[in-house]
Structure 1
Amino acid sequence: MRRTKLLPEVNAGSMADIAFLLLVFFLVTAVIPKDQGIQRKLPKECPPGIDCSGDIYERNILRIAINSENEIMVNNLVTPINEVKNITKTFIDNNGNGSCTYCSGNKSNISSDHPTKAIISLQNTKLTSYSKFIAVQDEITKAYFELRSKYSENVLKKSPEMLSEEDIKTLKKVYPFILSETEIK
């Protein structure tokens, strides 16, 4: 019997098909996470029954800026991030004009007149890191959450988890989240 010294061939044509099928399988079955952003709704032009052409007094604006070195400045003073929430709460709940019956502020003449007139101005540069920007927004959101929770427990006599849709509308009315975001040029 004669042996040939030829090597047997492996048919690799079907391997490409198998690799392609595996690729398609993994693409179809892979879970692609949804991007989650900040849930904010842009305000309407001007709510009915409210005069939006009036002047905004400087004392009703809390200016928070994040510079290119990611330093946070509240009213032009460098501030650590862990103080932003308390500064925001104090500013919003100030009751500067004495007309707020549910506020517990100290009626400072350099903070807001009323929670419905308090505006938070958040400014950043092009070099501000996204994580720092989001961290500052989180602190502002925590301030509003705590003020609304306090109102819920003290005035509505309900825990925040037990609020109805009407109660939530009331909370948003007494402590409206007014945030102005701009980029410093």
Structure 2
Amino acid sequence: MMINKKTVPEINGGSLADIAFLLLIFFLVATTMDVDSGISRLLPPMPEENQEEDKSEIKERNVFVVLINRDDQLFVEREVIMIDELKDLTKEFIVNPLNKDNFSEKRAMTIEYFGDVMVSKGVISLQNDNGTSYGQYIAVQNELAAAVNELRNDLCLQKFNRLYDDLDPLNEVEQEIIDAVKKVIPMAISEAEPKNIGGK
């Protein structure tokens, strides 16, 4: 008696590779990626090769020192502060409404749309530790940028009855106003290389 053996057909291995590739593409397209927060800031242009460096000394009173240690503690002018205090301290340093000796000096300038104004000579010096968390670094940067933007918004509300944030850079006149506001309230932030500042 003869037994009929049925053979199982082979699976085509070539099509498996195609299916695996298509699944890979599908998951790459369909998967959402967490986007890290970052800093949206326009950097100054590179200096020309033959341009001389500005070696003018900055007075100590014109430097607002902000430090973040490895434990994410925030120091302003050697005093520990909470991050929610940083914006107001930064605004006070820049504007210096009471002309305090420990806050920034001002210089008289003539700026289009504003005429003769007093502009801060202040520079914010930001220094962080090698162990500072990225989240704390970004939070500090956001507070510093928020301080400058609030001052610019206040200035535009006073002068033009509009927020600085609402000005349209595609409109030629409004772009001129944006440039003028940036001269009246510059964002002068100096960042040094991370160091081992320490912590507790």
Query: RMSD of aligned C-alpha atoms?
Result: 2.8
Q: Is the 8 A contact 1:64 1:74 kept in 2?
A: yes
The residue that corresponds to 2:132 in the other structure is: 128
* Equivalenced residues, count: 171
CA distance in 1, matches of 2:122, 2:137: 20
What amino acid maps onto 1:138 in structure 2?
Answer: N
The structure carrying a bigger strand percent of its residues is 2
Give 1:150 deviation, angstroms.
0.5
The answer on 1:139 being equivalent to 2:143 is yes
Query: Structure 1's 43 and 116: CA in aligned 2 closer, same or farther, altered over 3 A?
Result: farther
What amino acid maps onto 2:17 in structure 1?
Answer: D
The residue that corresponds to 2:41 in the other structure is: 40
The residue that corresponds to 2:159 in the other structure is: 155
The residue that corresponds to 2:100 in the other structure is: 108
The residue that corresponds to 1:97 in the other structure is: none
Q: How do 1:1-185 and structure 2 match up within 5 A?
A: 3-23=3-23, 25-26=25-26, 29=29, 37-44=38-45, 45=47, 52-94=54-96, 105-114=97-106, 115-160=119-164, 161-162=166-167, 164-182=174-192, 183-185=194-196
Residue segments in structure 2 that go unaligned for 5+ positions in a row: 107-118, 169-173
What amino acid maps onto 1:69 in structure 2?
Answer: D
Residue segments in structure 1 that go unaligned for 5+ positions in a row: 95-104
Q: Is the 8 A contact 2:104 2:120 kept in 1?
A: no
Q: Is the 8 A contact 2:94 2:122 kept in 1?
A: yes
Compare 22-31 and 72-81 and name the one that shifted more: 22-31
The residue that corresponds to 2:110 in the other structure is: none
Q: Any idea what SS the aligned residue of 1:16 has?
A: helix
Give 1:123 deviation, angstroms.
0.3
Q: Is the 8 A contact 2:72 2:132 kept in 1?
A: yes
CA distance in 2, matches of 1:69, 1:24: 41
Normalised to the residue count of structure 1, the TM-score between the two structures is: 0.79
